């Protein structure tokens, strides 16, 4: 449900569109052979092309083209077989060319659509306007010197995909869900690592407000929104700011604003008078990019199963709830882990164990599932031992803790510690008899109608068997004997 904001003079609706810059996973840059590795010493991953030395010519990286097409297909979007590179002109010290090579009138990917999952469990479609290829800029550091800025061009020339959404997003929750789903799709496709902290995925948010159902209001573009939390806070702040201005009989000025996470506010970055006039024109160093239909078809055939497809398959073939499925598919490695676990045991039980036990403890220890001390097949073995009554669910939790601590297999721990469930009627009967003999008072009380004491007897038997007696058999035998 889209959120409605109450103003002084009535209801307001927020309209949001997102521009996401995603760094393409590739070894080398969009137009040069320098490395894209993050964290190198300053200006070491820079070729003379990236430094814009006179006479250097850009040569397009075919892997980056393939990744953009792959992403377009993953966004259910139209692939444009003809696209063009243009120069976007502006001056900034971390942009040595004085222009960014980008795509403008003819992007490589056109209209598409993705589904987002909202907190209330519903699903909404968000339109994709376009995806285009462009160069990243370098990095300026402003806080090392009172009057100087330091520039590192390592990131200059890395390939970015700018992914623009339609203004279909209606509140901060939807914006976060969109960003989360987009990140998931990119990671499944292997076209961007989605690491927001390292800046390989960055979002600009366009926000405007209007009376519900009215025509679109004037929007402001908010930059520097680099985490899900920042998206949430920036949208809430900006919508309130705009409503206050309009209700005070003011008008919204179309402008670029900067999100300041320290102050929790947006502020104007550039006034309208110096709004950028980018003077786009086709880059004379690059011919138009022509793709072959068959080549696009080949990439389509190598697409992995995408998050939504996987979610629906988990619900159908494993009988899992929508919620459990969406938790399991959030990361591809997690989904793969789950499927390996579920191969050897009950699928629903496997989902419970992976979500509640494994993810619980990994989360607590700040570990990724790839760092789990318990291998997937091993966890499957443990769950199979519950299903085949070798151990009880309660003992299984102890075994799980032991597996997590030592990395040993379930069977070797069950064997080594003698945890195998006792299902021998004679053995259980013997313990039951002992417990009855040791507690004559309670037996009498139970027989005179204190039914609640049954639990006491079960507890005593389980204790004497060190938790190994089969609980169902204990119940049956006690009922018979008392």
Partner 1 sequence: MDKATVKKVATLARLAITEAEQEKFATQLGGILKWVEMMGEVNTDNVEPLANVVNIDLKLRPDIVNDGDIRDAVLANAPEALEGFFVVPKVVE
When binding is defined by CB under 8 A, the residue of 32, 103, 135, 372 that contacts partner 1 is: 32
**127: alpha, beta or left, given left = phi > 0 and alpha = psi -120 to 50?**
beta
Q: Are 113 and 104 in contact (CB under 8 A)?
A: no
For position 105 contacting partner 1 by CB under 8 A, the verdict is no
Choosing from 12, 15, 47, 362, the residue that interacts with partner 1 (CB under 8 A) is: 47
444 lines the binding site for partner 1 (CB under 8 A): no
> Phi first, then psi: what are they for 277, rounded to 5°?
-115, 100
> Is 92 an interacting residue with respect to partner 1 (CB under 8 A)?
yes
Q: What are phi and psi of 177, to 5 degrees?
A: -65, -40
Q: How many Å apart are CA 339 and CA 342, to the nearest integer?
A: 5
CB of 93 vs partner 1, minimal distance in Å: 5
Q: Between 60 and 482, whose beta carbon lies closer to partner 1? A: 60
Smallest separation (angstroms) from partner 1 to the CB of 259: 13
CA atoms within 13 A on the CB side of 427: 11
Check binding of 130 to partner 1 (CB under 8 A).
Answer: no
Please check whether residue 101 is in contact with residue 31, taking contact to mean a CB–CB distance below 8 angstroms.
Answer: yes
Stretch in the footprint of partner 1 (CB under 8 A) among 8-16, 140-148, 240-248, 319-327: 140-148
For position 226 contacting partner 1 by CB under 8 A, the verdict is no
> In this chain, which stretch among 63-71, 118-126, 197-205, 299-307 interacts with partner 1, using CB under 8 A?
63-71
**Residue 227: phi, psi to the nearest 5?**
-155, 165
Look at the block and give the residue holding tokens 């292997």: 190
Answer for the pair 397, 413: CB distance below 8 angstroms, yes or no.
Answer: no
Candidate residues 22, 34, 386, 413; the one interacting with partner 1 per rule CB under 8 A: 34
User: Is 97 a binder of partner 1 (CB under 8 A)?
Assistant: no
Write the burial class of residue 266 (CB in 10 Å: 0-12 exposed, 13-18 middle, 19+ buried): buried
Within 252-281, the residues that bind partner 1 by CB under 8 A are 258, 269-270, 277, 279
The distance of Cα 462 from the centroid of its chain, to the nearest Å, equals 44
Question: Which residue number, 8 or 277, has a Cβ lying nearer to partner 1?
Answer: 277
Which residue in 12, 20, 45, 329 binds partner 1 (CB under 8 A)? 45
Is 69 one of the binding residues for partner 1 (CB under 8 A)? no
- The rounded distance, in Å, linking the Cα atoms of 197 and 75 is 24
**Per CB under 8 A, which of residues 153..192 are in contact with partner 1?**
153
CB 426, CB 420: distance < 8 Å: no
Residues that bind partner 1 (CB under 8 A): 26-28, 32-35, 41-49, 51, 59-65, 84, 89, 91-93, 140-142, 145-153, 258, 269-270, 277, 279, 282, 286-290
């Amino acid at each position: 449900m889209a959120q409605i904001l109450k103003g002084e003079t009535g209801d307001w609706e927020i309209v949001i569109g997102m521009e996401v810059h995603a760094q393409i996973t590739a070894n080398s840059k969009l137009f040069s052979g320098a490395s894209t590795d993050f964290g190198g010493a300053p200006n070491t991953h820079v070729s003379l092309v990236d430094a814009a030395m006179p006479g250097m010519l850009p040569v397009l990286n075919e892997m980056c083209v393939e990744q953009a097409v792959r992403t377009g297909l993953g966004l259910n979007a139209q692939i444009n077989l003809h696209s063009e590179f243009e120069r976007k002109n502006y001056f900034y010290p971390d942009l040595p060319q004085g222009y960014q090579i980008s795509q403008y009138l003819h992007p490589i990917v056109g209209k598409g659509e993705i589904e987002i999952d909202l907190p209330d469990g519903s699903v909404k479609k968000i339109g994709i306007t376009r995806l285009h290829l462009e160069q990243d800029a370098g990095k300026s550091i402003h806080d090392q010197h009172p009057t100087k800025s330091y520039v590192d061009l390592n990131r200059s020339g890395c390939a970015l995909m700018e992914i623009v959404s339609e203004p279909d997003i209606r509140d901060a929750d939807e914006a976060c869900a969109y960003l989360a789903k987009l990140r998931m799709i990119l990671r499944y496709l292997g076209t961007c690592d989605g690491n927001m902290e390292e800046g390989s995925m960055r979002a600009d948010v366009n926000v405007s407000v209007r009376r519900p159902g009215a025509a679109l209001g004037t929007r402001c573009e908010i930059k520097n929104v680099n985490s899900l939390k920042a998206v949430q806070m920036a949208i809430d702040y900006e919508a309130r700011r705009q409503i206050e201005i309009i209700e005070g009989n003011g008008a919204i000025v179309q402008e670029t604003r900067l999100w300041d996470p320290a102050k929790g506010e947006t502020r104007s970055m550039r006034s309208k008078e110096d709004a950028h006039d980018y003077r786009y024109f086709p880059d004379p160093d690059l011919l138009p990019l022509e793709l072959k239909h068959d080549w696009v078809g080949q990439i389509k055939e190598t697409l992995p199963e995408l998050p939504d497809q996987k979610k629906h398959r988990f619900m159908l073939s494993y009988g899992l709830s929508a919620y459990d499925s969406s938790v399991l598919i959030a990361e591809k490695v997690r989904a793969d882990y789950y499927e390996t676990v579920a191969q050897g045991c009950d699928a629903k039980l496997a989902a419970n164990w992976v979500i509640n036990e494994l993810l619980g403890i990994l989360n607590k220890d700040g570990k990724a599932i790839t760092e789990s001390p318990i291998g997937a097949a091993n966890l499957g073995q443990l769950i199979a031992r519950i299903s085949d009554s070798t151990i009880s669910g309660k003992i299984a939790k102890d075994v799980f803790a032991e597996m997590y601590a030592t990395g040993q297999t379930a069977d070797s721990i069950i064997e080594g510690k003698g945890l195998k469930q006792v299902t021998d009627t004679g053995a259980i009967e013997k313990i039951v008899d002992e417990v009855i003999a040791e507690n004559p008072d309670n037996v009498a009380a139970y027989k005179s109608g204190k039914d609640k004491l049954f639990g006491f007897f079960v507890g005593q038997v389980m204790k004497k068997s060190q938790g190994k007696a089969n609980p169902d058999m204990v119940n049956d035998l006690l009922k018979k004997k008392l």
